């Protein structure tokens, strides 16, 4: 039996709720072996980010070559890449190792509001990395930043922005409506010839740290298990909704706590 393997390329969250740590928890919860390439270190907790230490591009390359030359990787999730050199290194590594099941979460700002990407890195992300993605998963502010436009205020505008992002070279766009208002949290999966609307009842909680990381890594886990993209996205939406709904069962930190990655596995405390 082949063991499904997914790799996360992202920043480390010392508080454990987002980034590499959230990705590996998600892979484990969904029955996928997780490996990692750390692109940045953050000093971070539930209250915010106090420092970022970027990993040199050549060491990112060394990690990628070590992992991809040995493991049979089924999918790659990419998160925080804060500098142009890191983005270029990752793009080159994906091409060198012929990775196609790539989920790109264009992380720009932490849930606490702290900026996680240099201004000059956004253009590099658009040019070098988006065309290598099977799917990109921007939230509403990230989609607006990538397109240098206003944040979408309706599903019609979300759909239009997703189509513009498709034109940058990604094969699909999952534009996430978690930052919108209303009783439902609506995401739209836009492919060149298909659209999928994914809606869930909005959960009222302040413990949403790591939601974007968790959703994108859940999609990668589905792809690693051999699921088609739309099926992987539906499963990931179900998983993240349940993880948010169970978040208040945890008591972590004094700020915005994490979602509950192991909601279906941990016994009630």
Does 237 qualify as catalytic in the annotation?
Answer: no
> Helical H runs in the chain?
19-29, 57-68, 84-96, 121-124, 140-147, 155-166, 211-224, 229-245
Structure tokens at 8: 């996360």
* Catalytic residue (choose from 61, 213, 214, 222): 213
Residue among 212, 214, 237, 257 flagged as catalytic: 212
**Phi/psi at 62 (5° precision):** -60, -40
* Active-site residue flag, 235: no
Q: Which residues pair with 76 in a beta bridge?
A: 7, 102
* 211, 237, 241, 257: the active-site residue: 211
**8 A C-beta contact, residue 55 and residue 86:** yes
For residue 4, how many other CB atoms are within 10 A of its CB? 22
222 assigned to active site: no
163: left (phi over 0), alpha (psi -120 to 50) or beta: alpha
- Cα dihedral 130, 135, 141, 145, rounded to 10, equals 10
Q: Is 8 a catalytic residue?
A: no
- Catalytic residue, chosen from 46, 124, 208, 241, is 208
Q: Identify whether 169 is a catalytic site residue.
A: no
| CA pair distance 160, 163, nearest whole angstrom | 5
- The catalytically annotated residue of 25, 77, 132, 176 is 176
Contact 99, 73 (CB under 8 A): yes
213 is catalytic: yes
Catalytic residue annotation:
176, 208, 210-213
């Amino acid at each position: 039996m082949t063991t499904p393997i997914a790799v996360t390329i992202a920043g480390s969250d010392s508080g454990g709720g987002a980034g590499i740590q959230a990705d590996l928890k998600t892979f484990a919860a969904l029955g996928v072996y997780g490996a990692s390439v750390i692109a940045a270190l953050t000093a971070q907790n539930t209250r915010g980010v106090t420092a970022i230490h970027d990993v040199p591009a050549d060491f990112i390359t060394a990690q990628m070559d070590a992992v991809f030359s040995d493991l049979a990787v089924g999918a790659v999730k990419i998160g925080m890449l804060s500098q142009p050199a890191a983005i270029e290194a990752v793009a080159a590594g994906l091409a060198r190792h012929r990775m196609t099941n790539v989920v790109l979460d264009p992380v720009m700002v932490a849930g606490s509001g702290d900026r996680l990407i240099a201004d000059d890195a956004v253009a590099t992300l658009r040019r070098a990395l988006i065309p290598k993605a099977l799917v990109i998963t921007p939230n509403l502010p990230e989609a607006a930043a990538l397109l240098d436009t206003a944040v979408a205020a309706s599903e019609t505008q979300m759909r239009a922005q997703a189509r513009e992002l498709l034109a940058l070279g990604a094969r699909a766009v999952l534009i996430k409506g978690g930052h919108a208002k209303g009783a439902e949290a609506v995401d739209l999966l836009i492919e060149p010839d298909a659209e999928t609307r994914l809606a869930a009842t909005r959960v009222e909680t302040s413990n949403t740290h790591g939601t974007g990381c968790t959703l994108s890594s859940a999609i990668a886990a589905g792809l690693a298990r051999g699921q088609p993209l739309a099926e992987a996205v539906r499963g990931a939406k179900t998983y993240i909704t349940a993880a948010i709904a169970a978040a208040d069962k945890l008591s972590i930190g004094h700020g915005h706590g994490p979602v509950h990655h192991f909601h279906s596995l941990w016994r009630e405390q």
